[in-house]
Amino acid sequence: MSSTWHILGAGSLGSLWACRLARAGKAVRLILRDGQRLQAYQQAGGLTLVEQDQPRHYAIPAETAQAHGPIHRLLVACKAYDAAAAIAGVAARLADDAEVLLLQNGLGSQDEVADLVPRARCIFASSTEGAFREGDWQVRFAGHGFNWLGDPRNPAVPAWFDDLHEAAIPGEWTVDILTRLWRKLALNCAINPLTVLHDCQNGGLLGHLDEVDALCAELAQLLRRCGQPQAAVELNEEVQRVIVATAANYSSMYQDVRAGRRTEVHYLLGHACRAAGRHGLQLPALERLQQRLVDNLRLRGLPCD
């Protein structure tokens, strides 16, 4: 099996992973959207990672999805709403033993990808690392966090997992990856939409704890109904800890809305509401929140799916 890390999605997290793997001497190749993006990348000469205000340049090879050659290991680091289309563009290149790492927010996109590449092993990831793009091909490492990876269908640790340790990518293999993903989805549902609706930093929600409490109660009920009781344990307490710890931060959804970008609402709050519907759960606070958010996005001329 080839040891090359193909990385689909040269945004903030994709670039962060690419630079750290390349720095550790791992073979890395970026897969870019089209020839125009490839040309722009080649003119820049690579990616720049800024850590502790120190920029460092990495001349990582790149190609388009239409390039030839098999892909054995693929990190999909694009937004949840782009993941299925992105994987469709390279599906024909995936080797029979391919492993696909999915670094998307929320839930739903992982199953969309897995359905498109049934022969590949799909590994789900949940990340709390922070990074943001300062410009084309330049990313700043904004916050140390952690990465949990797992495969709901296969508990075996992949042979390449030591690459993460060698690249100083903090990570742990877990057999309970779905619990991690559901827990993170619930945290996002309790915080992100409210920051958009109240136009505030995360800490601004300390003035709206009645709303937060009502949402957490319903989200915990949903998690238990979906077979994720561990993800529901002390959810409200953790949400409030996150709000305090990140009080000066703007949520990712808030940042997307302010920048006029599409949000990942379909895979966050939308997924939670659809799951509630499938289980016949009446969750009025969650349903009202989704309607208010959809109305807000429509007023701004942004997609609400």
Asked whether the beta carbons of 132 and 158 are under 8 A apart, the reply is no
Q: Annotated catalytic residue: which of 73, 93, 140, 184? A: 184
Q: Say what the pTM is.
A: 0.94
| pLDDT given at position 17 | 97
pLDDT digits (tens, 9 = 90+) for 128-141: 898 888 889 999 99
Compute and round to an integer the Cα radius of gyration of the chain.
Answer: 19
β-strand 130-135 against 121-127: which pairing, if any?
unpaired
> pLDDT tens digits, residue range 176-190?
999 999 999 999 999
pLDDT digits (tens, 9 = 90+) for 11-51: 999 999 999 999 999 999 999 999 999 999 999 999 999 99
When pLDDT is averaged across residues 263-281 and rounded to a whole number, the result is 97
Whether 26 is a known active-site residue: answer no
Q: What is the pLDDT of residues 163-216, one digit of tens each?
A: 999 999 999 999 999 999 999 999 999 999 999 999 999 999 999 999 999 999
